[in-house]
Amino acid sequence: MPEGPSVRKFHHLVSPFVGQQVIRTGGSSKKLIPAGFQSLWLQDAQVHGKKLFLRFDPDEEIRSLGSNPLPEPLQEGEREEATREQKQTLGPNGQKTSAQPSQSLELVPLGDSGSECLGADSPAGGAERWLQVRFGLFGSIWVNEFSRAKKANKRGDWRDPIPRLVLHFGSGGFLAFYNCQMSWGSSPVVRPTSDILSGKFHRGQALEALGQEQPVCYTLLDQRYFSGLGNIIKNEALYRAGIHPLSLGSLLGLPYLEALVDHVVEFSADWLQGKFQGKQQHTQIYQKERCPAGHQVRKEAFGPPGGFQRLTWWCPQCQPRVPPDELEQPSSPRSPGPFLHRTLPFRDSDA
């Protein structure tokens, strides 16, 4: 599924529609009936990690100002940009390309939010009406235009992806949601201390989690401690910190763990900034055959026993699996050191 930077961008695209009424609907969803949004008002939008939360109410009463902040790293000066994006007309270029529509179910438990699904086709009667959106691998939101096919499907057809949900607003603009799971729930539980793109991200909590006696590549994907972190960020941060994916956190010194957290935060923030600047994401190790130093890259699926296995790319030379007392002092993004050959500047990578 899209990682934290992508979902923050989706939140940014949705934000200008807050305070507007849905006047027309569409989409292919059968379990979350699009017509159920008719005449509702979009009252709020929040983001946490890989999840987007949208509040809909049947009346025009808007919650107090400040309840709908833009993504924290990019609040200043970005609302105008979002408004311009909202006014775009139909055309061949979009915010993000979506693949063939997913066949996965649209109703899912709300997971670690602690909420339960309250209804399939309409908001709960007396509860707050929050729509949780969880995106599939190629999930996306388009503003005032639809995704277009960029290649033929397996049958050889050039069919455009079908949106799960389309919401037309009173301003004349619309949002199209692709490849996502949606469910109604009560007020979302948002924990900014675990969100890697939040200004309130708690480094101490992250370091304590990484120090567990398990491979650090498992801990990094644990959304309880690194909400919004996905496989791309995992691979890139480990490479830049010079840490083997299967290294036990309990055997790594604090300087290594601090460097890893630094790279997680800076790579994620740089990736998000690049999205707003229209830059294509470039990686140093993810899906590469050779690392920037020219070494052969290895690829293998790693994951906890009985858990989900994720493909991991790493360089055996730049990320050696050796006893801790034989490791050099790691460098951090802010203070290049002896690992400079494996810890390249973020700005040069356009991550």
Q: Which residues are tagged catalytic?
A: 2-3, 50, 310
Residue pair 73/11 in contact by the 8 Å Cβ criterion: no
Structure-token match 């602690």, residue found: 114
Tokens encoding 296: 């052969």
**Nearest to residue 20, comparing CAs of 143, 199, 198?**
143
Residue pair 302/309 in contact by the 8 Å Cβ criterion: yes
- Rounded Cα gap, residues 221 and 49, in angstroms: 11
The DSSP secondary-structure symbol of 226 reads S
Phi, psi of 245 (to 5 degrees): -55, -35
CB atoms within 10 A of CB 147: 23
DSSP 34-90: GGGGTT-EEEEEEEETTEEEEEEESS-PPPPTTSSPPPGGG-TTHHHHHHHHHTPPS
Residue pair 71/83 in contact by the 8 Å Cβ criterion: no
Residue 174, H or E segment: strand 174-185
Handedness of CA 232, 178, 180, 155 (dihedral sign): negative
- Rounded Cα gap, residues 312 and 231, in angstroms: 8
Residue pair 223/234 in contact by the 8 Å Cβ criterion: no
- CA distances (Å), origin 223, targets 51, 226, 227: 11, 5, 4
Tokens encoding 141: 């939101």
